[in-house]
């Protein structure tokens, strides 16, 4: 496959996506260092804070979840807070709401004034979130939903509930605008010359709000650019790389892959699963687009094995969630020291950035 020269598209993509992170490497590093967790040497500003962390996932299943877990644990240690940890082992207990809710209750009963909650990502997600917030409120505690934000209905009812994530709508829009921009730059991608974008899509979890929003807004952005699209195949993968690989392997077996001109995925793990299948079958690589810009995806872009991704700063989400928790635990203003807007008094969205030469050369 041609190695996509994303460097030449930087200016065009920045203009198209209108995101603030399209600066040079120095600016990006500066933004990253102006985090809410900077501490002076040997200081422990979080000492006295007791924070619960109710995590969803078994380590190694979803790379972004591993990243946010590592960040929260590291920052808590650096700042001297006491962090109480529980893991809901999502793949084993996905539809057992009581399992994670009971963990949240135990963390609060053990003294956590705030619980950072990354909810199990199944059909009971909203039930887990509401039950956790209700229990926390009854005990005078707070819930911070990280990565998987709370519904607006919960925020409107409860004053002890906060969310830290990145706008789900923006993710799909950025991805769609990037694809539309690159489609113009690479007319050879239109293999059959019909002017339509024939695509396959690897989705996260069926019925999941993030899955729905990412796919819907990807298509909205393509339509807004005047791109006519045709979906050849879709697969729901539970956000798991191996399941994405299996789906694309089936598309290869059925011949559907031969009708596709691009492959789109709701996350980089899924995009990489698709890449795994194509490489294993020795098939020509399609332009593949992911979301999150994890390190492995950026390496694949650098090698020309993926066409692009949208950078979701997952470690920054972890840093912001931790600092918000520390502030609440110590009775400070919620967003003290956090240089991001507290939208509606309850939600912080960490901005996205497009993948550019700066990202490739990290």
Q: In whole angstroms, give the CA distance from residue 236 to residue 7.
A: 32
Question: What per-residue confidence (pLDDT) applies to 17?
Answer: 38
Four-way CATH pick for 6-25+169-312: 3.40.50.2300, 1.10.20.10, 3.40.50.300, 3.50.50.60: 3.40.50.2300
What pLDDT does residue 93 have? Answer: 84
What is the spatial distance between Cα 244 and Cα 255, in angstroms, rounded to a whole number?
A: 16
* d(C-alpha 134, C-alpha 154), whole Å: 10
Low-confidence ranges of the chain (pLDDT < 50): 1-42, 356-362
Angle at 14 between CA 11 and CA 16, to 5 degrees: 105
What is the topology classification, in CATH, of domain 35-165+314-331? Rossmann fold (3.40.50)
Distance CA 65, CA 120 (A): 11
Q: State residue 169's pLDDT score.
A: 86
- On the question of a common fold for 6-25+169-312 and 35-165+314-331, the answer reads yes
Q: What's the token pair of residue 59?
A: 């380590």
Residue ranges with strand state E in 110-257:
114-117, 142-146, 161-165, 197-203, 229-236
pLDDT of residue 120: 79
Please state whether the predicted TM-score (pTM) of the whole model is above 0.85. Answer: no
Q: Do 94 and 120 meet the contact criterion of CB atoms below 8 Å apart?
A: yes
Amino acid 58: pLDDT: 87
The residues spanned by each domain of the chain are 6-25+169-312, 35-165+314-331
pLDDT at 56: 92
Considering only CA atoms, which of 166, 350, 185, 200 is closest in space to residue 286?
200
Residue 283 and residue 26: Cα distance in Å, rounded?
A: 39
């Amino acid at each position: 496959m041609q190695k996509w020269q994303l460097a030449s598209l930087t200016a065009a993509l920045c203009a198209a996506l209108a995101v603030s992170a399209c600066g040079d490497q120095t600016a990006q590093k500066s933004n990253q260092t102006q985090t809410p967790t900077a501490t002076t040497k040997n200081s422990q500003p979080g000492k006295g804070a007791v924070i619960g962390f109710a995590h969803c996932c078994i380590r190694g299943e979803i790379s972004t979840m591993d990243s946010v877990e590592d960040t929260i644990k590291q920052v808590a240690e650096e700042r001297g807070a006491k962090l109480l940890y529980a893991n809901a082992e999502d793949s084993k207990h996905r539809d057992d709401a009581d399992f994670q809710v009971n963990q949240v209750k135990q963390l609060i009963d053990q003294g956590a004034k705030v619980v950072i909650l990354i909810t199990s990502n199944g059909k009971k997600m909203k039930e887990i979130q509401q039950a956790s917030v209700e229990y926390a409120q009854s005990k005078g505690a707070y819930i911070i939903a990280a990565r998987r934000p709370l519904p607006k209905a919960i925020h409107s009812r409860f004053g002890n509930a906060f969310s830290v994530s990145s706008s789900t709508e923006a993710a799909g829009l950025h991805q769609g605008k990037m694809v539309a921009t690159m489609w113009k730059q690479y007319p050879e991608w239109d293999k059959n010359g019909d002017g339509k974008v024939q695509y396959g899509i690897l989705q996260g979890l069926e019925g999941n709000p993030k899955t729905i929003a990412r796919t819907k807004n990807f298509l909205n952005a393509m339509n807004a650019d005047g791109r006519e699209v045709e979906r050849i195949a879709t697969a729901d993968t539970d956000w798991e790389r191996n399941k994405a690989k299996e789906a694309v392997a089936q598309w290869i077996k059925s011949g559907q892959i031969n009708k596709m001109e691009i492959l789109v995925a709701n996350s980089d793990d899924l995009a990489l699963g698709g890449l795994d299948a194509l490489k294993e079958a020795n098939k020509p690589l399609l332009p593949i687009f992911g979301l999150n810009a994890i390190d492995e995806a950026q390496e694949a872009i650098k090698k020309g094995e993926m066409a692009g991704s949208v950078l979701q700063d997952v470690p920054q989400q972890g840093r912001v969630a931790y600092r918000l928790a520390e502030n609440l635990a110590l009775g400070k203003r919620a967003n003290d020291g956090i240089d991001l807007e507290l939208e509606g008094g309850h939600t912080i969205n960490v901005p996205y950035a497009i993948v550019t030469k700066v990202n490739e050369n990290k």
